[in-house]
A and B are shown apart, each in its own frame.
Chain A
Amino acid sequence: MRVLAFDTTTSACSVAVCEDGETKALFHDLMVHGQAEALIPAIEKTMNEAGVTYGELDRIAVAVGPGSFTGVRVGLAAGRGIGIATGHPVIGLLTTEVIAAESQIATSLPTAVAIDARRAEVYLQCFDVNGIATAAPACLLPEAAADVLGNHPWVLVGDGAVRVQPHVDSAVVPGEITVANASVLANLAATRPIPQTPPSPIYVRPPDATAPKDGGRLRP
């Protein structure tokens, strides 16, 4: 099975073409901004290196968040666009799940993924030794995230780990993975059932919007 996978939800632009578990080509650049410019040229470059055309793919995989709102939309708009343009199924995976899966290739330990949510918060999600999420991702202050982790021997990964690490019990050990790798995303997506609907974004945090008092009327 040939999969084109990409992630722009955190501080990277990662694109891979994988075939039956083997990475044919990988583009992986750390970047805080600029994914809207970088992504499509990176996809074309990676496909060229892999010697694969869009028509020869079997499915598209895209990380759906949580992460930067803009990054989530850059990846999903491209993924859903490629989906309608090619007719290939598009599989969405949580960014946290992809990061945890890569970490667990090396450690097989319970893994906590903390993604930088800005505004001094992180998106936290924990995975057991089988890679199964223990709960949905949550948006938390680092101290609250540390409370969730308690004194359990988690491996703490993700680009928000540095915010949480100073607050955790000594049982929680730092891991090495900070961002999602598109090769891991591709191989996870290859095993998933094909969804009936295109993937939806996972923002976790609601939009910043407050309805004005009395609808903004001066004399209600």
Chain B
Amino acid sequence: MRVLGIETSCDETAVAIVEERQGGRRCLAHALSSQIEEHRPFGGVVPEIAARTHLDRLDQLVERAMSDAGIEYDSLDGIAATAGPGLIGGVIVGVMTAKALSSVHRKPFIAVNHLEGHALTARFTDDVAYPYLLLLVSGGHCQLLEVKGVGHYQRLGTTLDDAAGECFDKAAKMLGLGFPGGPAVEQAAQSGQADRFDLPRPLKGRDGCDFSFSGLKTAVRHTVEALPAGSLQKQDAVDLAASLQAAVVAHIVDRCSNGFEMVENTPTAFVAAGGVAANIALRTAMDQVAEDHGVPFVVPPVELCTDNAVMIAWAGLERLTLGLTDPLDFKPKPRWPLDAANA
């Protein structure tokens, strides 16, 4: 089974080809083009710029991936694309390109939920068995899910306001640390003193495993405003970055610990996915949470945590294996919860 996958839901344009043969699985090609430079002047992703850039680049990336894999379209078994949730202008570019390839070469089209791509990556990398507990933490999402099978998700908690990565982006902008905010905060935090500023621990002591990050963002703002007048000093900025990172990690640890009490079935593993799962401090803390609950901690390599097309091709392959394909009039979805109960 061999599937081409397309990812265009945010600011990475990517195409990958994955295959599974007799239990072995591999990525034949992954062509990715980041739009960081296009969005940097704005300190965040601008949807219309993202959509235009995806259109400019996607067809060349498809050709590059096919060439790198050294295969012909005829040898593909399906064409998958992120069909939501995400910035809809970009999603449409990916879906239309996939539908065109699918129509010309008469291959099944698979509309992949971007979140399912993140959720199933650990099966591609580590062959994790169901059910497992998944922390999905990125610039657009922060959720804790029980993954029971392809298409079977129980959402245990989600953010009540901002996503974790969004909090890092906004704080980094206020502190002048650069874009994207996650890596910028992480780098600054390395030379900062995490206990200098006493930032709040949102929802501490509350039941459930919902998340909240907007209070932290506001606390950063208030802390900066309370500093002595004048330009923000570098040491203040890095100390605040370290304090923020510590607060975010402590909040996520607290919520995930609650999540372990809420699962229906004993999980085989604790899995982290999404761009913020690239954060080393968070990985270390999650590893400890998993150990405390007696399960292995699985986190894909950084390049498969951030948005990529390997996860879309893989999710497409998993769906195709189960006969789950979609018609060519499939409507791209800007919002698309993973769990049916919230659909």
Report whether B92 and A40 are in contact in the complex, using a CB–CB cutoff of 8 Å: no
Residues on the B chain within 8 Å of A209, using CB: 42, 46, 48-49
Residues on the A chain within 8 Å of B88, using CB: 70
Q: Which residue of A lies closest to B83 (CB)?
A: A36
- The count of chain A contact residues (Cβ–Cβ below 8 Å) is 42
Within 8 A of A (CB), among B76-130: 88-89, 92-105
Report whether B52 and A207 are in contact in the complex, using a CB–CB cutoff of 8 Å: yes
Residues on the B chain within 8 Å of A217, using CB: 173-176, 232
Stretch of A71-79, A91-99, A153-161 on the interface side: A71-79
Question: B331 contacts the other chain (Cβ, under 8 Å)?
Answer: yes
Residues on the A chain within 8 Å of B55, using CB: 73, 76-77, 80, 201
Question: B73 contacts the other chain (Cβ, under 8 Å)?
Answer: yes
Report whether A37 and B329 are in contact in the complex, using a CB–CB cutoff of 8 Å: yes
Interface size, B (range): 35 or more
Report whether B41 and A37 are in contact in the complex, using a CB–CB cutoff of 8 Å: no
Query: Among the listed B59, B102, B103, B231, which residue makes an inter-chain contact with A84, where contact means beta carbons less than 8 Å apart?
Result: B59
Q: A37-B331, A216-B173 are in contact. Are A77 and B104 (CB under 8 A)?
A: no
Q: A84-B63, A201-B52, A219-B227 are in contact. Are A44 and B101 (CB under 8 A)?
A: no
- Would you call the interface of chain A mostly helix, strand, loop, or mixed? helix
Q: A40-B329, A54-B104, A209-B46 are in contact. Are A218 and B224 (CB under 8 A)?
A: yes
Q: A216-B174, A218-B232, A219-B224 are in contact. Are A77 and B100 (CB under 8 A)?
A: yes
Question: A83 contacts the other chain (Cβ, under 8 Å)?
Answer: yes
Question: B332 contacts the other chain (Cβ, under 8 Å)?
Answer: yes
Question: A195 contacts the other chain (Cβ, under 8 Å)?
Answer: no
Residues on the A chain within 8 Å of B276, using CB: none
Residues on the B chain within 8 Å of A207, using CB: 46, 48-49, 52
Residues on the A chain within 8 Å of B46, using CB: 207-209
Residues of B whose CB lies within 8 Å of any CB of A are: 41-43, 46, 48-49, 51-52, 55-56, 58-59, 62-63, 73, 88-89, 92-105, 173-176, 221, 224-225, 227, 230-232, 327-332
19 additional contacts, CB 8 Å, given A69-B89, A73-B92, A200-B56?
Answer: A34-B331, A40-B100, A40-B103, A69-B51, A73-B52, A74-B92, A74-B96, A77-B100, A80-B55, A81-B62, A85-B100, A201-B52, A209-B42, A209-B49, A211-B41, A217-B176, A218-B221, A219-B224, A220-B231
